[in-house]
Amino acid sequence: MKIGELARRTGVSPRLLRYYEEQGLLTSERAGRGHRRYAEDAPDVVEHIRALLAAGLSTSAIRELLPCVEAPGPALEHCAAPMLRDHLEGIDGKISTLQNSRAALSDLLAATEPRSGQPG
Protein backbone atom coordinates (compact mmCIF):
# COMPACT_ATOMS: atom_id res chain seq x y z
CA MET A 1 0.00 0.00 0.00
CA LYS A 2 1.12 3.56 -0.62
CA ILE A 3 1.95 6.02 2.14
CA GLY A 4 -1.28 7.98 1.65
CA GLU A 5 -3.40 4.87 2.14
CA LEU A 6 -1.40 3.87 5.22
CA ALA A 7 -1.87 7.36 6.61
CA ARG A 8 -5.64 7.18 6.05
CA ARG A 9 -5.93 3.72 7.57
CA THR A 10 -3.91 4.60 10.67
CA GLY A 11 -4.69 8.28 11.19
CA VAL A 12 -0.93 8.98 11.21
CA SER A 13 0.43 11.68 8.93
CA PRO A 14 2.71 10.72 6.04
CA ARG A 15 5.43 12.87 7.61
CA LEU A 16 5.24 10.85 10.83
CA LEU A 17 5.23 7.59 8.88
CA ARG A 18 8.44 8.70 7.13
CA TYR A 19 9.90 9.54 10.57
CA TYR A 20 9.04 6.04 11.82
CA GLU A 21 10.83 4.68 8.80
CA GLU A 22 13.89 6.88 9.43
CA GLN A 23 13.98 5.58 13.00
CA GLY A 24 13.95 1.96 11.80
CA LEU A 25 10.46 1.27 13.15
CA LEU A 26 8.66 0.81 9.86
CA THR A 27 9.89 -0.55 6.55
CA SER A 28 8.89 0.06 2.98
CA GLU A 29 10.04 -0.88 -0.45
CA ARG A 30 10.53 1.58 -3.24
CA ALA A 31 8.29 1.10 -6.24
CA GLY A 32 8.63 2.82 -9.60
CA ARG A 33 9.58 6.50 -9.35
CA GLY A 34 10.75 5.92 -5.77
CA HIS A 35 7.29 5.77 -4.20
CA ARG A 36 7.10 3.97 -0.90
CA ARG A 37 5.11 0.74 -0.74
CA TYR A 38 4.24 -0.75 2.63
CA ALA A 39 3.35 -4.36 3.45
CA GLU A 40 -0.22 -5.30 4.28
CA ASP A 41 0.66 -5.63 7.98
CA ALA A 42 1.96 -2.03 8.13
CA PRO A 43 -1.21 -0.72 9.85
CA ASP A 44 -0.67 -3.27 12.64
CA VAL A 45 2.97 -2.20 12.98
CA VAL A 46 1.94 1.46 13.18
CA GLU A 47 -0.65 0.56 15.83
CA HIS A 48 2.05 -1.13 17.90
CA ILE A 49 4.39 1.83 17.49
CA ARG A 50 1.67 4.24 18.64
CA ALA A 51 0.81 2.07 21.67
CA LEU A 52 4.46 1.83 22.70
CA LEU A 53 4.96 5.58 22.24
CA ALA A 54 1.86 6.20 24.37
CA ALA A 55 3.48 4.08 27.08
CA GLY A 56 6.37 6.55 27.09
CA LEU A 57 8.93 4.43 25.31
CA SER A 58 11.56 6.05 23.11
CA THR A 59 11.87 5.19 19.44
CA SER A 60 15.17 3.38 20.15
CA ALA A 61 13.44 1.24 22.81
CA ILE A 62 10.57 0.55 20.42
CA ARG A 63 13.03 -0.52 17.71
CA GLU A 64 14.36 -3.14 20.17
CA LEU A 65 10.85 -4.25 21.18
CA LEU A 66 9.27 -4.60 17.74
CA PRO A 67 10.63 -8.13 17.23
CA CYS A 68 8.68 -9.07 20.40
CA VAL A 69 5.38 -7.84 18.98
CA GLU A 70 2.65 -10.34 18.23
CA ALA A 71 0.56 -9.04 15.36
CA PRO A 72 -2.22 -8.12 15.17
CA GLY A 73 -3.24 -6.65 18.48
CA PRO A 74 -1.33 -5.11 21.35
CA ALA A 75 0.15 -8.37 22.70
CA LEU A 76 3.89 -8.66 23.25
CA GLU A 77 5.95 -11.79 23.60
CA HIS A 78 7.86 -12.57 26.78
CA CYS A 79 11.08 -11.13 25.31
CA ALA A 80 9.61 -7.63 25.90
CA ALA A 81 9.21 -8.15 29.66
CA PRO A 82 12.72 -7.13 30.83
CA MET A 83 12.70 -3.83 28.95
CA LEU A 84 9.12 -3.03 29.95
CA ARG A 85 9.93 -3.86 33.57
CA ASP A 86 12.98 -1.57 33.51
CA HIS A 87 10.92 1.24 32.01
CA LEU A 88 8.20 0.78 34.63
CA GLU A 89 10.78 0.86 37.42
CA GLY A 90 12.19 4.07 35.96
CA ILE A 91 8.73 5.65 35.97
CA ASP A 92 8.16 4.50 39.55
CA GLY A 93 11.45 6.14 40.53
CA LYS A 94 10.44 9.40 38.86
CA ILE A 95 7.06 9.30 40.62
CA SER A 96 8.80 8.80 43.96
CA THR A 97 11.16 11.71 43.27
CA LEU A 98 8.24 13.93 42.27
CA GLN A 99 6.29 12.98 45.41
CA ASN A 100 9.31 13.87 47.55
CA SER A 101 9.71 17.18 45.73
CA ARG A 102 6.01 17.91 46.18
CA ALA A 103 6.20 17.23 49.91
CA ALA A 104 9.26 19.47 50.26
CA LEU A 105 7.58 22.29 48.31
CA SER A 106 4.44 21.92 50.38
CA ASP A 107 6.51 22.22 53.57
CA LEU A 108 8.27 25.30 52.21
CA LEU A 109 4.97 26.88 51.25
CA ALA A 110 3.51 26.16 54.67
CA ALA A 111 6.56 27.87 56.23
CA THR A 112 5.84 31.05 54.24
CA GLU A 113 2.26 31.37 55.42
CA PRO A 114 1.63 33.59 58.44
CA ARG A 115 0.98 31.73 61.66
CA SER A 116 -2.35 32.37 63.31
CA GLY A 117 -2.21 35.13 65.89
CA GLN A 118 0.90 36.71 64.36
CA PRO A 119 0.89 39.67 62.05
CA GLY A 120 1.50 38.78 58.39
pLDDT of residue 120: 52
- pLDDT score, position 74: 66
| Residues forming a β-bridge with 36 | 30
- What's the CATH number of domain 3-112, 2.40.37.10, 3.65.10.10, 1.10.1660.10, 2.60.40.10? 1.10.1660.10
User: What is residue 119's three-state secondary structure?
Assistant: coil
Position 114 scores a pLDDT of 82
Categorise residue 33: left if φ over 0, alpha if ψ from -120 to 50, beta otherwise.
left
What are the residue ranges spanned by the domains of the chain? 3-112
- pLDDT number for residue 87: 93
Q: Which residue, among 8, 52, 3, 11, has the nearest Cα to 30 in the 3D structure?
A: 3
User: Could you report the per-residue pLDDT of 33-54, keeping only the tens digit for each?
Assistant: 888 999 999 999 999 999 999 9
Give the separation between CA 82 and CA 92, rounded to whole angstroms.
Answer: 15
Which residue stretches of the chain have pLDDT < 70?
71-74, 116-120
Q: What is the pLDDT of residue 117?
A: 60
